[in-house]
Amino acid sequence: MNNQAVFNIAEICARHGITDVVLSPGSRSAPLALAFARHPAYRGRLRVVPDERAAAFIGLGIAQATRRPVVLVCTSGTAGLNYAPAVAEAFFQQIPLLILTADRPPEWIDQLDGQTIRQRNLYGAHAKAAFDFPTDTTHPDAKWHAERIINEAINLTQAGPAGPVQVNVPLREPFYPKLGEVVVYEQDVKIIREIPATGTLSLSESTELRQRLRNAGRVLVVAGQYPANAPLAAALKSFALAYRAPIVGDVISNLTDGLSQILGKQDIFIAGLSEDERNELRPDLLITFGQSLISKSLKLFLRNAAPLIHWHVQAAGPVADTFRSLSEIIRVEPTSFFRSIAAGSSPDASINDSTTHYNLGWGSAQQHGETALNNFFGSQRGRYQEVQEPFNEFSAFRHALGALADGTALHLANSMAVRYANILGLPQGRQIEVFANRGTSGIDGCNSTAVGGALAQPARPVVLLTGDVAFFYDRNAFWHNYPTPNLRIVLFNNHGGGIFRMIDGPRQQPELEEFFETHQALTAENLCRDFKLRYFPVASFDELDAALPVFFAAEGGAAVLEIFTDSKTNAAFFEEYRAAVKAAF
């Protein structure tokens, strides 16, 4: 078989500025592997990860950090199926991935040949598109078709909303060049570049929307998951000042660190509000942008509030009606929207007593929640002056957050880690960027995504806060040969799925321990030895406070801080927190 068209895939990717490839080894994929391995653009940027599930999440982590497409390459058969969890996460989180799945020629599908499954459109509704690479590219038209497919696939990964695209590549033997044969990259390959639309509001649209905002009454802005974006933060600040509109965001909105106009802590105060207080915070006009929310309390509040008008700001792609109130979709980027609406408004023209009262109501509720949280931890210190406070993961999590360095890329694993962070909030003024796989909210790739982030940004501290089930589930994240000296993993090990003791439903069931908590006796010590990670086990506040500075120090290399706690103690302490907050309101 003439593999020139396959070799040209690497050239086209390089011309499009793609810099990172994650490969899982196999024979059928050899032409693809050699294409990237021998291309000068990918020397030092082609990573080999044997486990395809881990490889895909590592690629996802690289793409999250760089905000550029990453290429995944695997062999035929079930290898591509192992990409599926990361592909689904990329789809719902809108992360660009180009997935190249090697395959047998079409005539050999369903013929009982080895390592063969039905790979066409392998990811179904969880990929933006799926293409079939031509089997025979000897005719000029077929070569043009092949190059057009790769260009289209690359452009689609980035076109809003970004996401994963599969190209299935059937390959015939021989797969390998003869000894001494040079891989050639043709320089006349077809390149099709797509310049994204820069949609902005027209003058008349901006004027109309400003007028509607002034007449709307109580305006609330809610930010879903969103990448860190300094221009957006500045535009929101201007909007909040112009309209005195409260802006609420989860920790994954990347807006709550140091921006006083953005309100957090909603998990604390919304649950404690009376019905009258909830009515005081109900918006007449809701403006949303971004992806999912962590806070169940906020989601339920907004669904029950049923605002009459709900604008969602999103430049392209499907829009979810999460709060059952969606009335208008505004097709511009959020930064452009808030900048444009704020630019033509002065605070004096937009503020009235009702607006000011509404804004102050949200601010007061957030401050009340902040005070309740601080008072709770303060009372715990006073309560246990003579008998030491029981060591628990909620308090330990607070210690770990407080020790994060400026500029940290913080990865939050699913289950309790992301929820604890949303309750406690980030240390202010440290420019911490938050990543979390909340597209599908699975535990299956939390380690690997953080590893990808560390590989993509080697000069930046990358920290993963995770529970034991998520950590051990994804242990193959470390099964590769690429150092990540900037990676720190704080592992909260309560020897099971402790979240099931925290949430109503499973914790009331007699089968809790056997069928929900998934008890396990593992520790990370042997894993750290296998993968040459520094290991810090702690089981008390004194040990934790002594370990944190050494663990987070820039020198020394990748490390795991394993914090051992008891799930029953954790649940009892968290229940005390809930009771204290409820009493405070």
How do the pLDDT tens digits run along the chain, 585 residues long?
689 999 999 999 999 999 999 999 999 999 999 999 999 999 989 999 999 999 999 999 999 999 999 999 999 999 999 999 999 999 999 999 999 999 999 998 888 888 889 999 999 999 999 999 999 999 999 999 999 999 999 999 999 999 999 999 999 988 888 888 889 999 999 999 998 877 889 999 999 999 999 999 999 999 999 999 999 999 999 999 999 999 999 999 999 865 667 898 898 989 888 899 899 999 999 999 999 999 999 999 999 999 999 999 999 999 999 999 999 999 999 999 999 999 866 655 556 667 788 999 999 999 999 999 999 998 655 444 434 679 999 999 999 999 999 999 999 999 899 999 999 999 988 999 999 999 999 999 999 999 999 999 999 999 999 999 999 999 999 999 999 999 999 999 999 876 766 667 767 777 766 667 778 889 999 999 999 999 999 999 999 999 999 999 988 999 999 999 999 999 999 999 988 888 887
pLDDT of residue 382: 46
Q: Output the CA–CA distances (angstroms, integers) from residue 492 to 221, 414, 560, in the order listed.
A: 34, 12, 10
Residue with tokens 């990811």: 123
pLDDT of residue 326: 97
- Token pair belonging to 105: 């020629």
Partners of 23 in the beta sheet?
A: 48, 73
Residues 211 and 360 in one domain: yes
CA-to-CA distance for 7 and 142, rounded, in angstroms? Answer: 15
Domain that holds residue 574: 388-584
Residues 347 and 303 in one domain: yes
Residues 528 and 498 in one domain: yes
Q: Which residues contact 376 (CB under 8 A, 6 or more apart)?
A: 576, 577, 580, 581, 584
Phi, psi of 108 (to 5 degrees): -105, 5
The number of folded domains in the chain is 3
Q: Dmax of the chain from CA atoms?
A: 84
Residues 507 and 559 in one domain: yes
Segments in 94-244 forming alpha helices (H): 140-158, 203-216, 230-243
Residues 126 and 222 in one domain: no
CA-to-CA distance for 21 and 264, rounded, in angstroms? Answer: 37
Amino acid identity, position 454: A
pLDDT of residue 383: 45
Pairing relation of β-strands 433-435 and 309-313? unpaired
pLDDT of residue 272: 80
Determine, yes or no, domain membership for 178.
Answer: no
pLDDT of residue 312: 98
Whichever domain contains 218, its CATH number is 3.40.50.1220
pLDDT of residue 1: 62
Which pTM does this prediction carry?
0.94
Residues 450 and 573 in one domain: yes
Chosen domain end from 170, 189, 217:
170
Whichever domain contains 31, its CATH number is 3.40.50.970
Residues 151 and 245 in one domain: no
pLDDT of residue 385: 44
Give residue 441's Cα distance to chain centre.
9
Residues 13 and 90 in one domain: yes
Residues 552 and 450 in one domain: yes
CA-to-CA distance for 410 and 417, rounded, in angstroms? Answer: 11
CA-to-CA distance for 350 and 526, rounded, in angstroms? Answer: 62
Determine, yes or no, domain membership for 423.
Answer: yes
Q: Are 83 and 52 in contact (CB under 8 A)?
A: yes
Residues 515 and 486 in one domain: yes
For the beta carbon of residue 443, count every other beta carbon within 10 angstroms: 21
Residues 269 and 224 in one domain: yes
Residues 141 and 8 in one domain: yes
| 32: Cα within 13 Å, side-chain hemisphere | 29
Q: Are 265 and 425 in contact (CB under 8 A)?
A: yes
CA-to-CA distance for 133 and 144, rounded, in angstroms? Answer: 11
Q: How many helical (H) and strand (E) elements, i.e. helices and strands, does the chain have?
A: 20, 18
